[in-house]
Amino acid sequence: MTDRGSGKDAGEIVTQSLMFAPGVQPCFCRNDRATSVCAIACDIMAAGGIYLRLVLDTDVLVASVRSGRGASRQLLMGALERTFEVAASVPLIIEYEAVLTRPEHLDASGLTSRQVNDVLDALVKVSIPVHLRFLWRPRLKDPADEMVLETAVNGAADWVVTFNLRHLAEAAREFGIRVARPCDAWREIRRYEKK
């Protein structure tokens, strides 16, 4: 599939987004400052006001692969370019894969299962791994929403980005986590970048 905006295929976009030194681990500064390989860089980023950690709901990733335009695609690219941190747990990544490789999403995106897995592999590479030490269930009606909330809480996320504000907002607020639609989150991130 070719990205309409740039004329590049999805593989080229992911490859270009991942141009950093081999073997560099994701930033774990918020979890373990003593073993961090990038504590200084993170201190600089935090002082500059661009230190945000997001959890992307599955619906945001679906929108990002189905359309080359829009805030969801910008958020995916921002995550791959490390514009902000993205937190992910194993159950959430498994859900991403299960949903994104459904025939209707593959048809709409023009991607193959392999290409979707390449994008997910790239996302995992730049994600902060979250271990679900505490489960807060039941808080929500949908178990998939519970997974997103638990990833955000256990991963010390600042925001959950979703189209599903109605179900997630109240529960996330209990933990001090902001819930935003992709367009609102992207607008706020752009505002941070301009400072």
> What pLDDT score was predicted for residue 166?
84
Q: Is the backbone peptide bond immediately before 138 cis, with ω within 30 degrees of 0?
A: yes
- Give the Cα separation of 70 and 63 in Å (integer): 8
Provide the 3-class DSSP secondary structure of residue 59: helix
**pLDDT for residue 38:** 43
- Burial grade of 191 (CB within 10 A; 0-12, 13-18, 19 or more): exposed
Mean pLDDT of the 24-32 span: 39
pLDDT averaged over every residue in the chain: 77
102 CB neighbour count, 10 Å cutoff: 13
Residues 6+ apart with CB under 8 A from 52: 84, 85, 158, 159, 189, 192
Cβ neighbors of 103 (< 8 A, separation 6 or more) are none
Q: Which pTM was predicted?
A: 0.73
Q: What is the pLDDT of residues 41-83, one digit of tens each?
A: 444 444 444 578 999 999 999 999 999 889 999 999 999 999 9
Is the model's pLDDT at 1 over the cut of 70? no
Q: Which residue has the higher pLDDT, 16 or 150?
A: 150
d(CA 43, CA 45): 5
b (16+ CB within 10 A) / e for 51-86: bbbbbbbbbbbbbbbbebeebbbbbbbbbbeebbbb
Per-residue pLDDT reduced to its tens digit, 158-179: 999 999 888 888 888 888 899 9
